[in-house]
Amino acid sequence: MTNNPFPLPKDELLAAYRTMRTIRDFEERLHVEFAKGDIPGFVHLYAGEEACAAGIMSHLTDVDRIASTHRGHGHCIAKGVDVHAMMAEIYGKATGACRGKGGSMHIADLSKGMMGANGILGAGAPLICGAALAAKFRGDGGVGITFFGDGASNQGTVLESMNLAAIWNLPVIFVVENNGYAESTSVDYATAVDSYVDRASGFGLPGVTVDGTDFFAVYEAAGEIIKRAREGGGPALLECKMIRFFGHFEGDAQAYKAKGENDYNRTNRDCLKIFAGRVTSAGVVSAAEIALIDREVAALIDEAVGQAKGAPLPSARDLLTDVYVAY
Partner 1 sequence: MARKISMKQAINEALDLEMRRDPTVIVLGEDIVGGAGAPGEIDAWGGVLGVTKGLHAKHGNRLMDTPLSESAYIGAAIGAAACGMRPVAELMFLDFMGVCFDQILNQAAKFKYMFGGKAKTPVVIRAMVGAGFRAAAQHSQMLTPLFTHVPGLKVVCPSDAYDAKGLLIQAIRDDDPVIFCEHKALYGSECDVPEESYAIPFAEANVVREGKDVTIVSYGLTVHRALEAAETLAKTGVQAEIIDLRTLSPIDWDTVIESVETTGRLVVVDEANPRCSIAGDVAAHVAQNAFGALKAAPQMVTAPHTPVPFSPVLEDLYIPSADAIVAAANKTTARALAA
Coil, strand or helix at 72: coil
The piece of 113-121, 182-190, 201-209, 260-268 that touches partner 1 (CB under 8 A) is 113-121
313 near partner 1 (CB under 8 A): no
119 near partner 1 (CB under 8 A): yes
Could you say which of 80, 130, 141, 223 contacts partner 1 (CB under 8 A)?
130
What residues does 44 pair with on adjacent strands?
none
How far apart CA 127 and CA 105 sit, in angstroms, is 16
Minimum distance from CB of 230 to partner 1 (Å)? Answer: 16
State the DSSP H helix or E strand holding residue 302, giving kind and residue range, or none if neither: helix 287-310
Cβ atoms 200, 236 nearer than 8 A: yes
Q: Centre a 10 Å sphere on the Cβ of residue 236 and count the other Cβ atoms it contains.
A: 24
Burial class (CB in 10 A: 0-12, 13-18, 19+), 153: buried
268 near partner 1 (CB under 8 A): no
Minimum distance from CB of 157 to partner 1 (Å)? Answer: 5
| Nearest of 29, 40, 107 to residue 75 by alpha carbon | 107
Restricted to residues 175-194, the positions that interact with partner 1 (CB under 8 A) are none
Could you say which of 14, 128, 176, 217 contacts partner 1 (CB under 8 A)?
128
How far apart CA 28 and CA 45 sit, in angstroms, is 8
Cβ atoms 202, 145 nearer than 8 A: no
Residues in CB range of 247: below 8 A, 6 or more apart: 253, 254
Could you say which of 23, 125, 304, 308 contacts partner 1 (CB under 8 A)?
125
Which CB atom, from 48 or from 234, has the smaller least distance to partner 1?
234
**Binding track, positions 12-51, relative to partner 1; x by CB under 8 A:** ----------------------------------------
Restricted to residues 135-154, the positions that interact with partner 1 (CB under 8 A) are 135, 137-138, 144
The piece of 41-49, 176-184, 204-212, 317-325 that touches partner 1 (CB under 8 A) is 317-325
Query: How many CA atoms lie less than 13 Å away from 54 in the CB half-sphere?
Result: 29
Residue burial 270-294, b: 16+ Cβ < 10 Å; e: rest: bbbebbbebbeeeebbeeebbeebb
Phi first, then psi, for residue 228 (nearest 5°) are -60, -45
The piece of 157-165, 181-189, 203-211, 275-283 that touches partner 1 (CB under 8 A) is 157-165
Which CB atom, from 145 or from 243, has the smaller least distance to partner 1?
145
325 near partner 1 (CB under 8 A): yes
Minimum distance from CB of 93 to partner 1 (Å)? Answer: 11
| Contact residues: partner 1, CB under 8 A | 65, 67, 96-102, 106, 108-111, 115-116, 118-120, 123, 125-131, 133-135, 137-138, 144, 156-157, 160-161, 163-164, 167-168, 321-327
